[in-house]
Chain A
Amino acid sequence: MAEHHDQHGAHGAGHDEHAGHHPNYKKIYFTLLGLLVVSVVGPVFGIVWVTLISAFGIALVKANLVIQNFMHLKWEKRIAKWFLTASLVLMALFVGGVSVDVLNHEGNNWENIAAQAAVERGLAAAAGEEVVEEEAAEPVDVGFNAPNMFNLVCASCHGAAGDGKGAAGLALDPRPANFTDPAFWAERDRARIVNVITNGGASVGRSPLMVGWSASFSAEQIEQLADYVETFRPGA
């Protein structure tokens, strides 16, 4: 059996070739502690570039000391260095490719309104200013008005006349509710209308296509919508 007997076990070939190269671990340990002190003290000066060097420059030095001496990468075969380097290079590639979209808040023909607003809000709060509830997070403020909102959002399925004959609703099964139908009102009360607008059709065993709107509208606004829906009630 032609096995590579010399190359296994605790003291295999991989070790033998760097036997005798062991660094003075104690010295490296105390160097690391010294560097730690420097990195903690660095920000005391309050100068940005000193902090950057003392924090990240020293982190690199420390990591390098640990990797080379404690992990013995200095004496490892080249192949291990290659694939560890490859993984780091890939991360640099990833950050490089993604930062154009994620780090920046505006670019060619686009801007990240929500992020810009979040930055402004946050900086204002940090400066101790009154936090103004920004409307910018909402893409457009068309003002709330129950009939308008019904026409904007609900009418595509329920129809502007509330008859369940909106363009998108024509092909749905089950059909969108017809608010002009007396049978519809026979078994429903206001609490149920509010509940369905808030939590969606699935919450009462009806079509899940009717989603809950609690994320978009306040309870007060949903009440107004329910009021508007009740205006379709025959004889109302």
Chain B
Amino acid sequence: MIPQASTYAASIDNVILLIAVLVGFWFIAAEGMFFWLIWRFRAKEGVKSEYLEGHEPHVKKWITWPHSLVLVCDVFIIIGAVQVWYNVKQRLPDDADATIRIIGQQWAWTFQHPGADNDLDTADDIFTVDDLHVEVDRTYIFQLQSRDVLHSFSVPVFRIKQDAIPGRSIMGWFEPTQTGEYDVQCVEICGIGHGVMAARIHIEDAQQHADWIRSASTGTAQ
């Protein structure tokens, strides 16, 4: 797996692991049974097949029991998935440190950073194209918008993904946990240039981030 660089990346990975264990068990059990039956009941000279309706209680239990167990596994998966979903998508942190705006268009990302005063939609906002700068261990709320068609903002190391829809503003949040430079992708097909709609996210420590804000504000960035 690729690195986990946000606070909730591990929880999403854990749901994936939970599902992998549960369905892996069923998968191995079913395939094992399947191939064993094929081998065990291969055609033999003089042996006639058994006549079973499948509705007799003593054989039907071989269907009803696994079937109830599948339901139980489903309940666990639902609980795990909904918990993570609630945390990542449904709630927004009350004490977010900053708000950024992400605007998709054919075929580039525009990032509106709050700038030095840490307020969005003020004169010192920093606009960048295809480069998102965030500070590690700070909570960000993003507003996702699109100018033309559907795009989708995806940061694989954060495990976050959200479509941008023209006309709408969709909110989400993330909190980076390690510094570095990672891929940002558009994952909703958006026309000919979909494949080049790449961006980079720069996760910086406090000092680097302050430096970047300073340099970007004076117009020497990029």
* Nearest residue, chain A, Cβ from B128: A152
* Nearest residue, chain B, Cβ from A136: B167
Interface residues of A in 182-227 (CB under 8 A from B): 208-209, 211, 215-216
- List A contacts of B101 (CB < 8 A): 140
- List B contacts of A152 (CB < 8 A): 108, 110, 127, 129
Interface string of B151-175 (1 = CB under 8 A from A): 0000000000000001111111000
Pairwise interchain contact B196-A168, C-beta atoms closer than 8 A: yes
Complex alpha-carbon distance, A202 and B107, angstroms: 16
Interface string of B98-111 (1 = CB under 8 A from A): 00010101111010
- List B contacts of A112 (CB < 8 A): 167-168
Q: Given A114-B167, A151-B222, A167-B130, verify A108-B108 contact (CB < 8 Å).
A: no
Asked whether B148 is an interface residue with its Cβ less than 8 Å from the other chain, the reply is: yes
Interface residues of A in 53-112 (CB under 8 A from B): 108-112
Complex alpha-carbon distance, A152 and B67, angstroms: 56
Asked whether B139 is an interface residue with its Cβ less than 8 Å from the other chain, the reply is: no
Asked whether A153 is an interface residue with its Cβ less than 8 Å from the other chain, the reply is: yes
Pairwise interchain contact B192-A114, C-beta atoms closer than 8 A: no
Asked whether A229 is an interface residue with its Cβ less than 8 Å from the other chain, the reply is: no
A interface SS class? loop
- List A contacts of B197 (CB < 8 A): 168
Pairwise interchain contact A137-B167, C-beta atoms closer than 8 A: yes
Interface string of B124-141 (1 = CB under 8 A from A): 000101100000000000
Asked whether B198 is an interface residue with its Cβ less than 8 Å from the other chain, the reply is: yes
Interface residues of B in 170-203 (CB under 8 A from A): 170-172, 191-193, 196-198
Pairwise interchain contact B92-A109, C-beta atoms closer than 8 A: yes
Asked whether B11 is an interface residue with its Cβ less than 8 Å from the other chain, the reply is: no
- List A contacts of B6 (CB < 8 A): none
Pairwise interchain contact A139-B127, C-beta atoms closer than 8 A: no
Complex alpha-carbon distance, A157 and B197, angstroms: 11
Q: Given A151-B222, A152-B110, verify A111-B129 contact (CB < 8 Å).
A: no
Pairwise interchain contact A168-B107, C-beta atoms closer than 8 A: yes
Pairwise interchain contact B192-A139, C-beta atoms closer than 8 A: no
Q: Number of B residues contacting the other chain (C-beta, 8 Å)?
A: 32
Complex alpha-carbon distance, A43 and B90, angstroms: 43
Pairwise interchain contact A208-B167, C-beta atoms closer than 8 A: no
Complex alpha-carbon distance, A110 and B146, angstroms: 13
* Nearest residue, chain B, Cβ from A160: B222
- List A contacts of B130 (CB < 8 A): 156, 167-168
Asked whether A115 is an interface residue with its Cβ less than 8 Å from the other chain, the reply is: yes
- List B contacts of A115 (CB < 8 A): 167
Complex alpha-carbon distance, A140 and B192, angstroms: 24
Asked whether A113 is an interface residue with its Cβ less than 8 Å from the other chain, the reply is: yes
* Nearest residue, chain A, Cβ from B144: A110
Q: Given A140-B101, A208-B192, verify A109-B129 contact (CB < 8 Å).
A: no
Pairwise interchain contact A111-B145, C-beta atoms closer than 8 A: no
Pairwise interchain contact B172-A113, C-beta atoms closer than 8 A: no
Complex alpha-carbon distance, A229 and B146, angstroms: 26
Interface residues of B in 60-104 (CB under 8 A from A): 89-90, 92, 101, 103
Asked whether B214 is an interface residue with its Cβ less than 8 Å from the other chain, the reply is: no
- List B contacts of A1 (CB < 8 A): none
Instruction: State which of B129, B169, B171 has its C-beta within 8 Å of the C-beta of A113.
Output: B169
Given contacts A110-B168, A140-B110, 18 further A-B contacts (CB under 8 A): A109-B92, A109-B171, A109-B172, A110-B169, A110-B171, A111-B168, A115-B167, A139-B147, A140-B101, A148-B127, A153-B105, A155-B222, A156-B108, A156-B130, A168-B107, A209-B107, A209-B193, A211-B106
Q: Which residues on B are within 8 Å of A, measured CB to CB?
A: 89-90, 92, 101, 103, 105-108, 110, 112, 127, 129-130, 145-148, 166-172, 191-193, 196-198, 222
- The 13 sampled A-B contact pairs (Cβ below 8 Å) are A109-B92, A110-B168, A111-B168, A112-B168, A114-B167, A114-B168, A115-B167, A139-B166, A140-B112, A151-B129, A209-B107, A211-B193, A216-B147
Q: Top 7 nearest A-B pairs by Cβ distance?
A: A114-B167, A139-B145, A109-B171, A110-B170, A156-B108, A168-B196, A112-B168
